[in-house]
């Protein structure tokens, strides 16, 4: 990579490598070409980038949002096919989306409990609307003494589903149109986490076992629902780490993909992601040198969400030969790095005014720290992109969704 393409910034800033992004877009398109593609907005968090990917993805069908107010914002900005991935009780914002659904946009809300259905039915009744819902099936694999998956949906089997459907039948303002079975433990769990590499064979084995279970359980629930006359128009599954698997499943109509586009550091630890290129990250300027062998940058605190661990730390992308100091980690508003002695000897160590390139562990969270992404190409072949200097993030638009 030619790191001189963006002049060294004087303040922390975020970068987006358009060549790497294009490479990742093509790979996603190739891997998922047999089904429709939905973009996970949580892992992009920028309208500009969502539009950029959409324009280059022939099987694009819509987006998967993560909150009701975000869904409204997406509708206001021209996105017309949205599934909100997580159940909401924010009926105020749900009601504000009706103006768009009346004009033909598709807005689908996630449910897995009667409380979710009840809230949607009540607000839809007030406005005399019909709300589309998607049933979220828990695709985790509970085995003795181990729960391999995520704790989200309460629906595991046909019995759970039947109970919820009985409730839904009493709600005339909601309509089941979709089913989601997100196999998080296959799509989002890396095999070789730093410091835990001994677990890799066990995780691989569990993933293989889980694939069989997901195929069987998701397939049979979809068949059963269709036989009951539900006529599901959408069966959504998968994520960045499961593109090959999910695309090959006959019951699936579409896959959701987000993180693969930026390829953040967490996905470096996943077997299925090696072909993808790091496309986004941040640069910190070196502003201090407290002692020989240590530099300190302006900016810090870029730890990713989830269970604590070094897999949630950013990684240093460029230059080589720097490491994080364990006492301070990735800092708060300053971040110190140790310089490897070989660089001190040959005089190539980073100095004040230089830039340290890093990558966040998670995809969309990078955008919560910056108003814009500075875009660059290693090659300026594509003249149509000459005007692309920056892309604005949700944060840059003054938006903060949870």
Ligand X SMILES: Cc1ncc(COP(=O)(O)O)c(C=O)c1O
Q: Which of 87, 149, 239, 285 binds ligand X (CB under 6 A)?
A: 239
Q: Is position 259 an interface residue for ligand X (rule: CB under 6 A)?
A: yes
Within 170-270, where are the H helices? 184-187, 200-227, 243-247, 259-262
Q: Is position 181 an interface residue for ligand X (rule: CB under 6 A)?
A: no
Beta bridge partners of 148: 141
Q: Is position 247 an interface residue for ligand X (rule: CB under 6 A)?
A: no
| DSSP symbol at 238 | -
Q: Is position 363 an interface residue for ligand X (rule: CB under 6 A)?
A: yes
In terms of Cα–Cα distance, which of 262, 276, 307, 274 is closest to 41? 262
Half-sphere exposure of 81 (CA within 13 A, CB side): 13
Beta bridge partners of 286: 297
Interaction pattern, residues 194-233, with ligand X; x per rule: CB under 6 A: ----------------------------------------
Beta bridge partners of 237: 181, 255
Choice between 63 and 303, CB closer to ligand X: 63
Beta bridge partners of 37: 60, 255
Range in contact with ligand X (rule: CB under 6 A) among 3-11, 111-119, 251-259, 316-324: 251-259
Range in contact with ligand X (rule: CB under 6 A) among 14-22, 52-60, 250-258, 286-294: 250-258
- Exposed, middle or buried by CB within 10 Å (0-12, 13-18, 19+), for 193? middle
Q: Which of 188, 264, 314, 396 binds ligand X (CB under 6 A)?
A: 188
CB 47 within 8 A of CB 397: yes
Tokens of 345: 């000897």
Interaction pattern, residues 118-157, with ligand X; x per rule: CB under 6 A: ----------------------------------------
Q: Is position 41 an interface residue for ligand X (rule: CB under 6 A)?
A: no
Residue 304 CB, nearest distance to ligand X (Å)?
Answer: 12
In terms of Cα–Cα distance, which of 314, 297, 306 is closest to 366? 314
Choice between 192 and 340, CB closer to ligand X: 192
Number of residues that bind ligand X (CB under 6 A): 15
Angle at which helices 18-31 and 47-55 cross, to 10°: 50
Residue 180 CB, nearest distance to ligand X (Å)?
Answer: 6
Q: Which of 24, 32, 43, 101 binds ligand X (CB under 6 A)?
A: 43
Angle at which helices 158-169 and 200-227 cross, to 10°: 40
Region class of 27: left (phi > 0), else alpha (psi between -120 and 50), else beta: alpha
Q: Which of 14, 27, 28, 85 binds ligand X (CB under 6 A)?
A: 85
| DSSP symbol at 9 | P
Length of the chain measured in residues: 402
In the bound state, the residue with its beta carbon closest to ligand X is 239
Q: Which of 79, 100, 182, 376 binds ligand X (CB under 6 A)?
A: 182
Range in contact with ligand X (rule: CB under 6 A) among 23-31, 182-190, 315-323, 328-336: 182-190
Range in contact with ligand X (rule: CB under 6 A) among 22-30, 224-232, 257-265, 345-353: 257-265
Q: Is position 257 an interface residue for ligand X (rule: CB under 6 A)?
A: yes
- Exposed, middle or buried by CB within 10 Å (0-12, 13-18, 19+), for 91? middle
Alpha carbon distance 330, 223 (integer Å): 49
Q: Is position 235 an interface residue for ligand X (rule: CB under 6 A)?
A: no
* Contacting positions for ligand X (CB under 6 A): 40, 43, 64, 85, 182, 187-188, 239-240, 256-260, 363
């Amino acid at each position: 990579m030619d790191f001189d393409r963006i002049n060294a910034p004087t303040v922390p800033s975020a970068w987006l490598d358009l060549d790497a992004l294009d490479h990742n877009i093509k790979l996603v398109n190739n891997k998922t070409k047999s089904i429709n593609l939905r973009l996970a907005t949580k892992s992009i968090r920028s309208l500009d980038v969502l539009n950029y990917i959409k324009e280059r993805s022939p099987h694009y069908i819509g987006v998967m949002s993560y909150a009701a107010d975000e869904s409204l914002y997406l509708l206001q900005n021209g996105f017309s096919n949205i599934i909100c991935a997580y159940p909401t009780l924010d009926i105020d914002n749900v009601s504000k989306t009706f103006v768009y659904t009346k004009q033909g946009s598709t807005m689908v809300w996630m449910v897995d409990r009667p409380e979710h259905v009840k809230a949607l039915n009540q607000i839809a009744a007030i406005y005399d609307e019909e709300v589309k819902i998607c049933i979220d099936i828990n695709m985790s694999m509970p085995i003795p003494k181990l729960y391999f998956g995520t704790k989200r949906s309460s629906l595991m089997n046909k019995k759970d589903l039947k109970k919820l459907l009985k409730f839904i039948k009493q709600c005339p303002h909601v309509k089941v149109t979709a089913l989601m079975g997100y196999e998080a433990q296959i799509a989002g769990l890396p095999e070789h986490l730093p410091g835990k590499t001994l677990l890799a064979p066990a995780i691989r084995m569990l993933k293989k076992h889980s694939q069989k279970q997901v195929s069987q359980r998701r397939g049979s629930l979809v068949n059963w629902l269709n036989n009951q006359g539900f006529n599901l128009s959408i069966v959504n599954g998968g994520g960045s780490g499961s593109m090959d698997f999910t695309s090959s499943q006959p019951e699936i109509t579409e896959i959701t993909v987000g993180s693969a586009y930026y390829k953040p550091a967490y996905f470096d630890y996943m077997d299925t992601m090696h072909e993808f290129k790091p496309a986004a990250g941040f640069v910190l300027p070196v502003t201090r040198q407290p002692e020989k062998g240590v530099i300190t940058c302006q900016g810090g605190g870029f730890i990713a969400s989830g269970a604590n661990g070094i897999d949630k730390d950013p990684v240093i992308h460029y230059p080589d030969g720097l490491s994080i100091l364990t006492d301070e980690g990735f800092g708060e508003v300053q971040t110190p790095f140790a310089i490897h002695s070989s660089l001190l000897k040959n005089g190539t160590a980073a100095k004040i005014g230089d830039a340290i390139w890093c990558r966040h562990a998670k995809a969309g969270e990078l955008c919560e720290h910056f108003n814009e992404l500075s875009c660059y190409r290693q090659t300026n072949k594509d003249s149509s992109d000459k005007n692309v200097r920056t892309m604005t993030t949700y944060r840059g638009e003054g938006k903060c969704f949870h």
